[in-house]
Structures are given as structure tokens and as C-alpha cells.
Structure 1
Amino acid sequence: MEFVVVIPARFASSRLPGKPLADICGKPMIQHVYEKAMASGASKVVIATDHQQVFDVVKGFTNNVLMTRDDHQSGTERLAEVVDLLSLNNDIIVVNVQGDEPLLAAENVSQVAALLANSSAPMATLSAAIENVDEIFNPNAVKVVSDVNKNALYFSRASIPYDRSHMYTGENNGLDTQDFQRHVGIYAYRAGFIKQYISLTPSPLEQLESLEQLRVLYHGYKIKIEQAKITPQAGVDTPDDLARVIAILQSH
């Protein structure tokens, strides 16, 4: 199975400016992500950035970096530019790994690539079991439900599925977290579908939920999904997240 990993690395971040370059145990965060992706068995790993400083730092540990436009509205648009710049064949699998996931397991990358390779769907992703009831009601934790054939039915910031026997009565302490799955933001696409995706009209659902993967379901395409074999650690969005990741890596 051949697949390519693309790591978008935007410099701008409202909660943690310059996030890709944040120092973690002597290395910039983006280097940690790159090294995890390299261990996944990918045929090629490319970092795509829109900022000269990130480009220059990445050049210090690899030549696999591309400068992309700074006017993209989503990570998928940046991915489409990379597909064009690399002249990738429409059938090749492209895995989008977020640049703020320094604790991502290499096995997560290879798992989502294999999930797509063994299906006819144009796109695949992963989920993880929710262990804390509070996470069910956290809008920053995206929930997902799927069918018996590992096709995603819906993604939402709301608490889905709705456990009527407990939520309706307000007895949230009786909820069984095993009934809930958290979406893990790693995607595998066929390269041709990435270009097709950006030509699709935005859907009301994705605008309401602020979840761009809903555009795929809205237009009738399948997204394969299965539970991650290794539960991914949370990524870095805030200074507190960064401190947590540093503490974890230092302890190792």
C-alpha cells in the first residue's frame, strides 16, 4: 500500500501564535509530527506551510517542505494545492496529519490509510471511545455515529446519539460512555477526491456545525470510519496543551 502524508503547518493561531515552531524538548512541534509521520510507512511525507519562518525552520531537518498560498479557507484547500504541486495520481492515498499532533501514533496514520485502501470510499477517518461523561457535552469534542459497514452517518458538536432514557430526564450520570465515539481529526483521501471536494458547494450542515467533513456526507459520498487501535492523545490548541505535551514527553 502506497500513501503520501501531508502535514499542513499554519503559523497563525489565535490561541497559540507560531504554534508549529513551539519548542518541545529541544525540537519544534512540527518536527515531532514529521518524525511520527515518517515512522508510519508513508512513501513520502511533506510539510505544507504558508509562512517563511516555518519554511526556514523545517528546512533545517528536511527538504520535504512546500510553500503554499496564504489565502486558503480550509486545510483541505491547502491539501488540494499540494496535490497539484506534487502532480499526484488521482488514485494515490493522501493522509492529512495535523501539524499540532506531536503525540500522534504512527500506527494511527497507517491505520487510516489501510482503511481507505481496503474500501471504495473516497475518504476515511478514525474515532476514539469517549471515557468521560463531560466530553459528551463538550462542543469542542466532535462526536460521530456510524453504521454497521463502518460508514460515518453524522458528525456533530452536539451529544449524539441522544440517550433518551437518561438525557431526557436529566440523569446524565447514568450515561454509558461506551455508546459515544469522539472523532479523531486525521483523514485519508484519494487524491482525485481532494480536488473534487473543493468544487462541491458548502453545505448548510457544515456551516451550522463548523465541520467541513459534513460537506462530504451532504453531497452523498461515503466516509469510512473505525475506532483507532491506539487511542490518540489530544493535540495542541492552547499554552496549557503545550505544557501538557512537554510534561508527557519529558516523562518518557
Structure 2
Amino acid sequence: MSTLVLIPARLGSTRLPRKALADIAGKPMVVHVAERAAAAAVGRVVVATDAEEIRQAVEAAGFEGVMTSVDHQSGSDRIFEALRKVDPGGEAETIINVQGDLPTIEPALIRRALSPFDDPRCDIATLAAEIADDHERTNSDVVKLVGSPIGHERLHALYFTRATAPWGPGPHYHHIGLYAYRRASLERFVSLAPSTLEKREKLEQLRALENGMRIDAEIVDTVPLGVDGPDDLARAREILGA
């Protein structure tokens, strides 16, 4: 399948202003993400942004940028606008949404996100890792994926929650917010209104489940560092040698 990697990156950020352009080892954070997406070698890589500064930064680094509206409420809405602009002919059959605040993500993880599409019933694919730190089990900032095993390295997602679930002995899974969509699935998803559980849990992916869409998750070994605040940025700089 022809694949397009889209990286949503906006300039506004409450906890870490202008974080997409934060310097890490001499490069803006979003450029690190683009480099890792390119290293995954799954297809064309485009940064979708609402800021001319970000577009200029990624293009100066040799990557493609596209301007999108400042009014989008979610990354999925932003990548859908970008998709229509950069691929109006519909050549890309699958779209991977790689968040612009994952500067240390392993290229192999991006490739793994496509694996669930070997089942034609899968609409949206994502990633999860087994939780090893007990603190994460009760941390509401860590989203848990509740799913049924389908094979050794895959889950069929039944629910996503900030609570500790499921109850009883057994593994809990940390959901990694990287998504791959079949093109038609993305088109359908963005056409849907925010759902009841989505608004309650503040988790956009529940909209898909509440509307009967299927999400499968590949189980991976590591959770990439998401840069949400100054402490995360300091850690990213340490990892990348800044």
C-alpha cells in the first residue's frame, strides 16, 4: 500500500510554548521527528503546520511542509486538511499520523504501526506497550488500551481509558498515540461528531470505537518520549546529545 506520513505541528502550546521549534542538539524538535519518519522508509513525509516559521524550518532541513488552518481542534483534523492538499489525487492508501513532539521515536516503531493492516477488517492501527512501572497504572496521564489479544504481538482495542483497567491479574497496556489510517477510515473519522465517551475521557480515539470502527494495536517494547513540558525537553536533549 502507498503510505503518506503526516506530522502535525502547531506553534501554540500551553505547557511548552513554541515547542515544535525547541532546539534539540542544534535542530528544531519537529525536524528530529521528520528525520526519524524519513528513516522509517515507509513513504513520503510531510509536516502539516499552522505556522510559517515551522514550515520554513522543516523546508530548510530538506523536508516538505504544508500550511493548514490555525482553527483545527485536533491533529487528525489537521492531517486530513494536509492530505487533501498534498495528495488530491488519492494516491496514498494509508496515512500515518506521527505526533510532532516525539523527537526520539524509533523508526522501527513507525513501520510497526502498519502491521495491523494485514487484516482487512482493521480501520485504524496504533501501538501499545506493556506497563512495567506500577506508577503508570494509576497515572491518569498514561492512557491505557484495553483489548483482546489477537496473536502474540497484537491487540484488538475494545476501549481506551485514563483509569486503571482492566481489573484483576494480568498485563496493562500503555497506549502510544501514533496512528495509521486507511484513507477511507480517516475520511470517515473526521466527518464524525465528537462522541460521549470521547468528551468524558478526553480521548479522541473513542469516537472511532463508539461509531463501530475497528482499531488494532501492535504491541511494542518501548514507549517513545513525548515532549509535553520543560522536564521532557531536558530529557530529550540528554538523549540526543544536546
Preserved CA contact (<8 Å) 1:3 1:113: no
Among 234, 238, 242, the alignment partner of 1:243 is 234
Return the alpha-carbon distance in structure 2 between the equivalents of residues 184 and 92 of structure 1: 22
Identity of aligned residues (%): 41
1:88 is displaced (CA, Å) by: 5.3
Write the deviation string for residues 160-186 of structure 1: whole angstroms up to 9, x where unpaired.
1123xxxxxxxxxxxx6x611000010
Return the alpha-carbon distance in structure 2 between the equivalents of residues 133 and 151 of structure 1: 23
1:80 aligns with 2:72: no
1:91 is displaced (CA, Å) by: 6.6
Among 205, 222, 230, the alignment partner of 1:231 is 222
**Aligned twin of 2:69:** 69
1:207 aligns with 2:199: yes
Preserved CA contact (<8 Å) 2:138 2:163: yes
Return the alpha-carbon distance in structure 1 between the equivalents of residues 75 and 89 of structure 2: 17
**Aligned twin of 1:130:** 131
Return the alpha-carbon distance in structure 2 between the equivalents of residues 90 and 155 of structure 1: 31
Write the deviation string for residues 173-204 of structure 1: whole angstroms up to 9, x where unpaired.
xxx6x611000010000112211111112211
Partner AA of 1:239 in structure 2:
P
Return the alpha-carbon distance in structure 2 between the equivalents of residues 40 and 117 of structure 1: 18
Partner AA of 2:11 in structure 1:
F
Return the alpha-carbon distance in structure 2 between the equivalents of residues 64 and 47 of structure 1: 6
Partner AA of 2:159 in structure 1:
Y
Partner AA of 1:160 in structure 2:
A
**Aligned twin of 1:110:** 111
**Aligned twin of 2:145:** 144
Among 186, 196, 199, the alignment partner of 2:188 is 196
Where 1:39 maps in the other structure, the secondary structure is helix
Distance 1:91 1:58, change over 3 A: closer
**Aligned twin of 1:161:** 166
1:144 is displaced (CA, Å) by: 0.7
